[in-house]
């Protein structure tokens, strides 16, 4: 920090040992940190707006964590060394003034806007997210939800509050930990810094260990993110040593840190396993800027007026940009990501909105200097009022209608269905039960989850039959199961299941050999070994393959012919392989669409040409013909010649973008049995 023409540090002020009764001195303003905030929020906002070269813009959140760890720890260390204690009431009141007002206003306004533009089916979950955000536990909610493979993909307008939840949880725990370490260590600065280092290393280890097992848990959890704050804390704690680094070297390190942040923002993407060890790069870059950014020219670069303005409103901008993008997306239709010009326009519009929030709400309340206890009581009361209102809103959302007034006769599955043009009052399953309509294979624990690699095998159908059939595949196999179980029983077969969510049994050769999901690779190899040992008469393959727009169909076809041929080689030579062609895939959940179009369900259908992957289907047929296998394609029971409807008769066809409901799957049992029978005549 620069003060009176020389570099000063936290330790300089700590060692001054001011009298205990003296008020804390105002720390010098760090223009470089303000500019770094602008860089961080800019990366996040542009990434969310869809800028293609900033797929790693999420690292901006890591930068914020380092800054927070540095500033908060510097403040706490100064108080400890100056007075020997931490005024927790003063600390929490300051944090409440800084964080709560703008956050609560954003939560209320976003909830009100959601009632205007969001699908009624989503409102209850969104209001629940609002409550979690007001209570600063949204990261815990999202960690649980994101590990649920069937939770759907439409983003919550409060999803960005996860980072604020982590930060607030850090603020609650950190001063207590520092005070405890300070007292246990008999006021030793060395012991205190050692405690910070141990916590930081332990948290980093937890992040590295957890990320490959459950990336969402590692991403959202405070214990796997605490090390990022800890890195900033260590920079604050070792400020004296940092200040002794020669200016030329300090400048070079500061520039290196800034470049590292920008490069990771460009080179990282959603495919990077994160946070884990990958987060060490942007966190290290942020630490270098925080440590050395006040020297060597970095401060001048980060002090330019535009960055200072954006840095000042960075918190408000972070708060408002995401709900504006999500709600604009839903208002315009969620069939596809926002076009880049639209995303950029919404992001640009978020800047003046953030400035208003900063000017009218954030700044005036932050300057309120009432007694700490009074501040805490006031904000606690405000939070309770907001939460109470949100709970009332959730109750109102839960009674919104989810069907039309008309009923529709139930009917057997037929080819080339016309679809029902409204959401019938006797819809089965109902829209609010769609996600839970998974079928027995899920409810009895036979479907392996995303994280585990143990092969779960269950038997159904004619259990005493000498004729055996194996179902091998991912969650789509689980959704075909209700139809296949009835068909196997009708045909006199025992049906054994080998299914795991998110892990395809059909795959290209390259993906089979190098899956990013370690549990999938282990499970798949073990399942193949079990199937080979059991040597069933029939192996039924069913998987989520989906359309892949933008890829050359001829290249896809060749890749899949190669991969499927190798799959046949892995399976028992005595088994006949039968592939179930994949079900259609929608760009957005038809369930959400239907809740907004109760009397116009046709608007939620998808064109048949857009819902399927002809290249993969052709590869399946080619390999099956060469290897004495078969492909059963029931698409004509799901789609007519041009469209694939979301409701057929009184039955809801899909639970999300591509999973069949168990209810509809069961209606296909007769058709599936008829298609299977000719391929079983010469088996066994």
* DSSP assignment of 300-316: HHHTSHHHHHHHHTHHH
Examine the domain organization and report whether 379 and 501 are in the same domain. Answer: no
Q: Give alpha helix (H) positions in 185-279.
A: 189-213, 215-220, 222-237, 239-243, 247-267
Which residues, 6+ apart, have CB-to-CB distance to 536 below 8 Å?
Answer: 468, 469, 470, 496, 572, 575
| Nearest alpha-carbon partner for 45 in 357, 324, 355, 329 | 324
Is residue 662 included in any domain, yes or no?
yes
Residue 151: predicted pLDDT = 43
Domain boundary among 373, 398, 423: 398
Cis peptide bond N-terminal to 374, omega within 30: no
Mean pLDDT (whole number) for 306-320: 96
Examine the domain organization and report whether 119 and 162 are in the same domain. Answer: yes
pLDDT 10s digits, 228-246: 999 999 999 998 899 999 9
Task: For residue 340, give the H/E element and its range.
Answer: helix 340-357
Residue 620 has pLDDT above 50, yes or no: yes
CA 395 to chain centre: 26
Examine the domain organization and report whether 352 and 228 are in the same domain. Answer: yes
Residue 334: predicted pLDDT = 61
Backbone angles phi, psi at 148, to 5 degrees: -90, 110
Examine the domain organization and report whether 380 and 446 are in the same domain. Answer: no
* Residue 529 in tokens: 């070994």
Residue 542 has pLDDT above 70, yes or no: yes
pLDDT 10s digits, 567-605: 999 999 999 999 999 999 998 889 999 998 999 999 999
Q: How far apart (Å, rounded) are the C-alpha atoms in residues 449 and 502? A: 8
For 431-435, 448-452, 616-620, which range has the lowest pLDDT when averaged over its residues?
448-452
Q: How many residues does the chain have?
A: 684
Is residue 471 included in any domain, yes or no?
yes
Q: How far apart (Å, rounded) are the C-alpha atoms in residues 11 and 1? A: 11
Domain boundary among 398, 417, 443: 398
Is residue 411 included in any domain, yes or no?
no
Examine the domain organization and report whether 336 and 453 are in the same domain. Answer: no
Examine the domain organization and report whether 502 and 625 are in the same domain. Answer: yes
Is residue 406 included in any domain, yes or no?
no
User: Which residue, chain included where needed, has tokens 């391929």?
Assistant: 679
Residue 548: predicted pLDDT = 76
For 82-96, 141-155, 513-527, 636-650, which range has the lowest pLDDT when averaged over its residues?
141-155
pLDDT band at residue 495 using 50, 70 and 90 as cut-offs: very high
Examine the domain organization and report whether 596 and 496 are in the same domain. Answer: yes
pLDDT 10s digits, 445-455: 999 988 889 99
Residue 287: predicted pLDDT = 97
List beta partners, residue 473: 499, 542
Which residues, 6+ apart, have CB-to-CB distance to 244 below 8 Å?
Answer: none
Give the domain range for residue 236: 33-398
Mean pLDDT, rounded, of the chain: 90
Examine the domain organization and report whether 366 and 443 are in the same domain. Answer: no
Q: How far apart (Å, rounded) are the C-alpha atoms in residues 650 and 409? A: 6
Examine the domain organization and report whether 475 and 595 are in the same domain. Answer: yes
Residue 372: predicted pLDDT = 83
Is residue 94 included in any domain, yes or no?
yes
Regarding predicted confidence, which is higher, 540 or 21?
540
Share of the chain above pLDDT 70, in %: 94
Mean pLDDT (whole number) for 200-204: 97
pLDDT band at residue 2 using 50, 70 and 90 as cut-offs: very low
Residue 22: predicted pLDDT = 41
pTM (two decimals): 0.83
Q: How far apart (Å, rounded) are the C-alpha atoms in residues 130 and 61? A: 20
Mean pLDDT (whole number) for 113-129: 91
Examine the domain organization and report whether 449 and 369 are in the same domain. Answer: no
Q: How far apart (Å, rounded) are the C-alpha atoms in residues 195 and 178? A: 8
Residue 104: predicted pLDDT = 96
Is residue 576 included in any domain, yes or no?
yes
Residue 413: predicted pLDDT = 82
Mean pLDDT (whole number) for 385-393: 93
pLDDT band at residue 8 using 50, 70 and 90 as cut-offs: very low
Regarding predicted confidence, which is higher, 366 or 12?
366
User: Which residue, chain included where needed, has tokens 């939800």?
Assistant: 145
Examine the domain organization and report whether 271 and 389 are in the same domain. Answer: yes
Q: How far apart (Å, rounded) are the C-alpha atoms in residues 391 and 386? A: 9
Q: How far apart (Å, rounded) are the C-alpha atoms in residues 610 and 617? A: 14
Examine the domain organization and report whether 452 and 382 are in the same domain. Answer: no
Q: How far apart (Å, rounded) are the C-alpha atoms in residues 467 and 457? A: 17
Residue 259: predicted pLDDT = 97
CA dihedral of residues 513, 515, 521, 525 (deg, nearest 10): -30
Residue 150: predicted pLDDT = 41
Residue 124 has pLDDT above 70, yes or no: yes
Q: How far apart (Å, rounded) are the C-alpha atoms in residues 499 and 481? A: 10
Total number of domains constituting the chain: 2
Domain boundary among 378, 398, 418: 398
Is residue 487 included in any domain, yes or no?
yes
User: Domain containing 669 — which CATH number?
Assistant: 3.40.50.1110
Is residue 192 included in any domain, yes or no?
yes
For 25-39, 354-368, 621-635, 668-682, which range has the lowest pLDDT when averaged over its residues?
25-39
- Measured over the CA atoms of residue 74, residue 78, residue 84 and residue 86, the dihedral's sign is negative
Select the highest-mean-pLDDT range: 20-29, 46-55, 494-503.
494-503
Q: How far apart (Å, rounded) are the C-alpha atoms in residues 326 and 675? A: 44
């Amino acid at each position: 920090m620069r003060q009176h023409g020389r570099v000063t540090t936290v330790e300089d002020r700590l060692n001054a040992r001011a009298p205990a009764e003296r008020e804390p001195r105002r720390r010098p303003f760090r223009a470089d940190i303000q500019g770094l905030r602008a860089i961080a929020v800019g990366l996040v906002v542009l990434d969310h707006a869809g800028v293609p070269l900033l797929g790693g813009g999420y690292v901006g959140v890591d930068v914020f964590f380092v800054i927070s760890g540095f500033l908060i720890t510097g403040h706490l260390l100064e108080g400890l060394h100056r007075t020997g204690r931490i005024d927790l009431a003063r600390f929490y009141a300051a944090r409440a003034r800084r964080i709560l007002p703008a956050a609560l206003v954003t939560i209320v306004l976003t909830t009100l806007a959601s009632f205007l533009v969001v699908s009624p089916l989503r409102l209850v979950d969104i209001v629940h997210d609002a409550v979690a955000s007001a209570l600063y536990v949204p990261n815990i909610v999202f960690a649980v939800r994101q590990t649920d493979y069937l939770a759907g993909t439409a983003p919550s307008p409060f999803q960005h509050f996860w980072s604020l939840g982590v930060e607030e949880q850090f603020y609650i725990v950190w001063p207590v930990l520092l005070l405890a370490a300070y007292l246990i260590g008999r006021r030793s600065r060395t012991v205190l810094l050692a405690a910070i280092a141990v916590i930081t290393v332990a948290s980093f280890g937890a992040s590295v260990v957890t990320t490959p097992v459950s990336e969402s848990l590692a991403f959202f959890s405070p214990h796997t993110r605490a090390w990022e704050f800890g890195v900033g804390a260590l920079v604050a704690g070792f400020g004296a040593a940092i200040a002794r680094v020669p200016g030329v070297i300090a400048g070079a390190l500061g520039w290196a840190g800034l470049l590292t942040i920008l490069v990771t923002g460009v080179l990282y993407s959603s495919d990077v396993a994160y946070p884990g060890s990958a987060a060490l790069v942007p966190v290290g870059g942020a630490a270098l800027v925080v440590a050395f950014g006040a020297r060597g020219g970095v401060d001048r670069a980060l002090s330019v007026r535009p960055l200072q303005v954006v840095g000042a409103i960075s918190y408000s901008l972070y708060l408002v940009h995401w709900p504006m993008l999500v709600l604009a997306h839903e208002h315009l239709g969620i069939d596809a990501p926002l076009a880049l010009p639209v995303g950029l326009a919404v992001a640009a519009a978020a800047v003046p909105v953030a400035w208003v929030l900063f000017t009218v709400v954030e700044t005036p309340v932050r300057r309120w200097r009432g007694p700490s206890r009074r501040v805490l009581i006031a904000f606690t009361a405000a939070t309770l009022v907001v939460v109470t209102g949100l709970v009332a809103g959730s109750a109102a959302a839960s009674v919104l209608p989810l069907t039309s007034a008309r009923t529709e006769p139930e009917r057997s599955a037929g080819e080339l269905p016309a679809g029902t043009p409204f959401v019938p009052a006797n819809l089965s399953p109902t829209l609010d039960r769609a996600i839970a309509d998974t079928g027995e294979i899920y409810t009895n624990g036979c479907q392996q989850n995303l994280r585990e690699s143990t092969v779960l095998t269950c038997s159904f159908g004619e259990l005493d039959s000498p004729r055996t059939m194996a179902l091998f595949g991912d969650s789509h196999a689980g959704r075909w199961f209700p139809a296949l179980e009835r068909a196997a029983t009708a045909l006199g077969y025992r049906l054994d299941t080998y299914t795991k969510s998110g892990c395809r049994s059909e795959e290209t050769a390259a993906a089979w050999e190098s899956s990013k999901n370690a549990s999938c690779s282990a499970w798949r190899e073990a399942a193949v070994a079990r199937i080979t040992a059991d040597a069933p008469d029939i192996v039924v393959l069913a998987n989520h393959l989906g359309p892949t727009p933008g890829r050359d169909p001829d290249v896809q076809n060749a890749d899949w012919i190669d991969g499927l041929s190798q799959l046949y080689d892995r399976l028992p030579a005595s088994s006949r392989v039968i592939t179930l062609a994949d079900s259609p895939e929608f760009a957005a959940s038809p369930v959400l669409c239907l809740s907004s179009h109760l009397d116009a369900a046709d608007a939620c259908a998808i064109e048949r040409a857009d819902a399927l992957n002809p290249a993969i289907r052709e590869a399946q047929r080619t390999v099956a013909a060469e290897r004495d296998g078969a492909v059963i394609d029931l698409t004509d029971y799901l789609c007519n010649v041009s469209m694939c409807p979301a409701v057929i008769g009184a039955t809801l066809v899909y639970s999300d973008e591509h999973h069949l409901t168990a209810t509809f799957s069961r209606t296909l049992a007769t058709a599936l049995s008829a298609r299977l029978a000719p391929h079983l005549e010469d088996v066994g």
